[in-house]
Every structure is written in structure tokens, then in C-alpha cells.
Amino acid sequence: GTIENLGVHLHRMVREQAGRTAEPTACLIDAQSVKTASSVPIGTQGTDAGKKIVGRKRSIVVDTLGLLLLVIVTAASVSDNEAGKQLLTQLAADYPTITKAWVDTGYKTKAIEHGAALGIDVDVVPRNEQVKGFSVVPRRWVVERSFGWIMMHRRLARDYETKPAHSESMIRIAMISNLAKRVTGETPITWHNP
């Protein structure tokens, strides 16, 4: 709808301001599990066994600047692999210029093969197992920063929406706010200047 059109227009403007082509050729895919509010219907939630979070999962695709291209919100029990396949299908349809995607180790052979069938080279970027705790992972830090931008919006620190589609819209609106600030030269929101 209109929100998506505004997002696409601002996205192109920000890319061109950054000296990039209007249409991206590479992207990053990742997922974030978040807790849900008590008002969220049980049927739209699940448990992310790996992270031990009961709630929903936000799976996003961003370009190499960290700007949102696609988002789907599912029960947290949906595997990264399954959500990744859905995103890759939508990515091939909506962004035919993209031929490269970086993902973490949660995305397995099926997602990689699905991407290859669509003409997208899906490359797994593992974290350095030698480093304990937090470490900056090449390429993947970009999508992690995008999740940080999303979490700066208080309403998105937890999932309060009754329908997953409403959660997706709230994430798009938050990222459009980020794009508008970039286009106008206003500093994007950070932990230091909320």
C-alpha cells in the first residue's frame, strides 16, 4: 500500500545520497525473536527453543546500508530456514537486481538451495567461535544495527500487536522514520540521542 510506496521512494533517495545505485544488488537476512505482550493471541505466538523466548520472530532483509527491504513476522517457533525461504521468494520477485545475500548459521542448506534456484547466492557468515561474548561479525553487523534501530522505538521493544501483519507495518513505519531523518540530514536515532 501507501506505506510501502513511501518506504521504497525514501529508500531510493537515501541510497542515491550515499552514492549507491537506486536498486540494491546485495542484502543481509536475519531474524530476531521478541517477547509478546499479554494481549497478543496465543495462536500467533510460539517458542524459539534456541533463545528460550516465547513470542514472535521478526525476519528482515536489509540492503548493505542496513535499510529495510522486507519484513515478515511469524510465531517465534518458525525456523530461520523456513522464514528465510519465504523472504528469498519475495526478494526475487520484488528486488530482481539482488544476486547476493549474507545470512548467519541459522539458515541451512534448504534456504541456500532455494536462493540458488532463484538466482541469489546465499552466503553463510559464521561468527568467530574463538571470541567469547559479543564480537563484530563481518557483513552481519549491518543487519544487527538495523534491529537496534527497530528496538529504539518503544512500541517495538516487545510485540504488542494482535496480528503479525500489524507488527510488520509498525516495523516499516519505524524504518521509514529512520529513512526520513537520513533524507533530511537529521541524525538517525541512537542510544546517545534518543
On the 0-12 / 13-18 / 19+ scale of CB atoms within 10 A, 77 is middle
Residue 193 scores a pLDDT above 80: no
Q: What is the pLDDT of residue 182?
A: 85
Q: Is 176 helix (H, G, I), strand (E, B) or coil?
A: helix
Cα(172)–Cα(3) distance, integer angstroms: 8
Backbone angles phi, psi at 30, to 5 degrees: -155, 170
Confidence of residue 139 (pLDDT cuts 50, 70, 90): confident
Fold for 2-126+135-183, please state it.
Nucleotidyltransferase; domain 5 (3.30.420)
Q: What are 84-104's pLDDT values in tens digits?
A: 999 999 999 999 999 999 998
Confidence of residue 1 (pLDDT cuts 50, 70, 90): low
Using alpha carbons, select from 57, 174, 69, 48 the residue that is nearest to residue 120.
69
Q: What is the pLDDT of residue 132?
A: 67
